[in-house]
Chains A and B, each alone.
Chain A
């Protein structure tokens, strides 16, 4: 007997993205002003933007990377690209969405580069073990824990699934917002979310006494 999936209708889960609040509109206007100043060459405005968005970019990058160090590299590259492309930013959209797009693209490119480099390497055994480098012992523990979580939860998932699962189940975005941010169709978001949940939870569900006989 196979497990029967209880699926909700798309309209139940994919509610329409909420309208931005006045605070969000004000924050977006401030971001747009800072972006235009930074595009004009104001380095202080750019520094303010980096200070404001570095944690978010780092958090987004975490889900695309193997560990926190790789996420730091991705975040750094995102801000380099942001500085170069600031004149392309249109202030009618959210700066965070624009930055997320850059993060996504940079992470994909970084992953391709790493894959190519690993193919070019002599052998996997010849590569040194990647170690988390930080002088802060507490931070080191946190980062090792984060790397372990990423390895445990997301290593087997395709990038789209891990991205959708992270945005919806871990960061609390709605599927409509995720669809708008990633450029995916709502149906694809929903399908990827279900696949991701199923893959992640299968290991835990397997501990249920009746799960094995249900799978037969």
Chain B
């Protein structure tokens, strides 16, 4: 055995199991470097084993046993307490879920705050009118209504289920009431007609039709007054309310 083989053997072999007639020790008998190394390794392992194996524990066994018993019992109690706390938490969560969350889902109050959004089509009321009607009822947090800016006749309500239902009901009532909002009242019609007469006086038709019969106005008898366009078409048509309304004065006599 040469030094290389001896070092390779010393790297991984057990020093305890080396007998005097082993190849490593026989080589060490002839090589002082390897002998020094082998002795150093043996001494080091022996010293380590001696130091670790001879070190006694400092704690008294009686104290250790007493502490272990007390701690184990305390932990057992703690575990029971934790289990009871967990059970109480589970019951609380179940109660909250069953009494608050689940009914909210049942009512349709879906979403993080129970808010829902609904768009209501309007046939008679303007969006502003509908907004005026429902505004006092849209009072909860995050509730509001939206009126479209593009002229489409709808209103969008966001609120709780109760608020949305109330808004829908109010709008339905006012939409179905003929004299409620969208049918012009007699007073408003009279006012509008007076304004139109005033405008016509300020801007008279520059090309009045000399012979009305040759070019009969197709709206004659229906469109009663208003500004006339280039071909005698009224710029604004006003229709009388069907049920009741004011008496429309003659076109030739402007109202006073």
Seen from chain A, the residues whose Cβ lies within 8 Å of a Cβ on chain B are 1, 3-8, 13, 43, 46-47, 50-51, 54-55, 58-59, 62-63, 68, 71-72, 75-76, 79-80, 82-84, 134, 136, 139, 142-143, 145-146, 149-150, 153, 166, 168-172, 194, 197-198, 201-202, 204-205, 207-211, 214
Number of B interface residues at 8 Å Cβ cutoff, please give it.
44
Whole-angstrom distance from the CB of B8 to the nearest CB of chain A? 5
User: For residue B53, which residue of chain A has the nearest CB?
Assistant: A59
For A149, give its contact among B15, B41, B47, B76 (CB under 8 Å). B47
Interface centre among B54, B56, B76 (most CB of A within 10 A): B56
Q: A50-B61, A50-B64, A214-B7 are in contact. List 19 more A-B contacts (CB 8 A).
A: A4-B5, A5-B12, A6-B8, A47-B61, A47-B65, A51-B65, A54-B59, A58-B56, A59-B52, A79-B68, A142-B55, A169-B14, A171-B49, A197-B11, A197-B12, A201-B41, A204-B44, A205-B10, A208-B37
Q: What is the bound-complex CA distance between A55 and B55, given in angstroms? A: 9
Of A58, A146, A211, A214, which one neighbours B51 at CB under 8 angstroms? Answer: A146
Q: Are A134 and B58 in contact (CB under 8 A)?
A: yes
Interface of B is mostly: helix
Instruction: Identify A6's interface contact among B12, B15, B61, B67, CB under 8 A.
Output: B12
Give a binary string over B1-29; 1 marks a CB under 8 Å from any A CB, 0 the rest.
00111011111111110000000000000
Our count of residue pairs bridging A and B at CB distance below 8 angstroms stands at 147
* Cβ–Cβ contact B40 & A6, under 8 A: no
- Which single residue of chain A is at the shortest CB-CB distance from B62? A47
Taking beta carbons and an 8 Å cutoff, which residues of B are in contact with A? 3-5, 7-16, 33-34, 37, 40-41, 44-45, 47-49, 51-59, 61-62, 64-69, 71-72, 75-76
The answer on a CB contact under 8 Å between A204 and B37 is yes
- Tell me the interface secondary structure of chain A in the complex: helix
A58-B57, A172-B16, A198-B12 as given contacts; A145 in contact with B51, CB under 8 Å: yes
Complex Cα spacing A7 to B9, Å: 8
A153 touches B12 (CB 8 A): no
Q: Which of B7, B61, B75, B76 contacts A205 (CB 8 A)?
A: B7
Chain A contacts for B57, CB-based, 8 A: 54-55, 58, 71-72, 75
A–B pairs, 22, beta carbons within 8 Å: A43-B69, A46-B68, A72-B59, A76-B59, A80-B68, A82-B68, A146-B51, A149-B48, A153-B48, A169-B14, A169-B16, A169-B45, A169-B49, A170-B49, A170-B52, A197-B14, A205-B7, A205-B11, A207-B40, A208-B33, A208-B37, A214-B3
